[in-house]
Amino acid sequence: MKRLIKLFLAILALPLVAGFSRTFFHEIMRSNAFTVNTYFLFGGFCLYCIVHFFIKKPMFLYTFGHELSHAVTAVLFGGKVRSFKATERGGSVATTKTNVIIELSPYILPLYALILALVIPLIRSKLVAWHIFIWYIGLVGFAVGMHIMMTLEVLKTRQPDIVKSGYLFSLAFIYLANMVVLFALLAIFSNGISLATFLKRGLIAGGDIYAWLWREFVGL
């Protein structure tokens, strides 16, 4: 029954996925998002892609972050971590609590990038030189690149977390959540875009698609 409900919710969310996708790219292209900060962010992302495809995939680093994401979100939801294991070949974590967000958290949260972003206020308060700070932004971009590319990599294989939540539901949820998280990171480094505006316009765009579908298929 839960699988059917999740499948229904996933299908219901598809117009929202389309609306947020259009808004994501529209907001970036129409704004003053392209600054030196975002260029370094994108540069870090590209650097990771070079490492990923031509040098070596950081399997242990990713696996550790993957399992840590499960552990952190479980604790945030009031659970406890009973065991934790991470190796280059795989990992596992046992918690006393689980739900959809805990199960899918590694595919949603760019954990290393978020940790680096949380340190930014401290770095700015210490008045770190701007030419050093932009390289730090590049490091955040590198971490974002690892999250995106490694998530795509592991989704090629059968993942118990995805199977448990259902493929269509999981993919729709992962896609939407990643857009929100990545846009939030972009908003930190650019004064030209706003997360609140993105969320508002994304919901409106999704609503417009729902309204169009209703008119087309229901005839009202």
pLDDT of 70 reads: 93
pLDDT of 22 reads: 93
Owning domain of residue 89:
2-213
pLDDT of 23 reads: 94
In a domain, 15, yes or no: yes
pLDDT of 110 reads: 93
| Rounded Cα gap, residues 163 and 30, in angstroms | 38
Give the tokens for residue 64.
């550790």
pLDDT at 126 over 70: no
In a domain, 73, yes or no: yes
| Rounded Cα gap, residues 73 and 91, in angstroms | 16
User: Mind listing the pLDDT tens digit for each residue in 35-58?
Assistant: 788 889 999 999 999 999 999 999
Give the tokens for residue 91.
């990992």
User: Mind listing the pLDDT tens digit for each residue in 133-178?
Assistant: 788 889 999 999 999 999 999 888 878 878 777 788 889 999 999 9
Q: What are phi and psi of 96, to 5 degrees?
A: -85, -5
Closest among 70, 103, 102 to 86, alpha carbons compared? 70
Neighbours of 157 (CB within 10 A): 7
In a domain, 42, yes or no: yes
Amino acid identity at 164: K
In a domain, 142, yes or no: yes
In a domain, 208, yes or no: yes
In a domain, 218, yes or no: no
The mean per-residue pLDDT over the stretch 187-211 comes to 89
Q: How many domains does the chain have?
A: 1
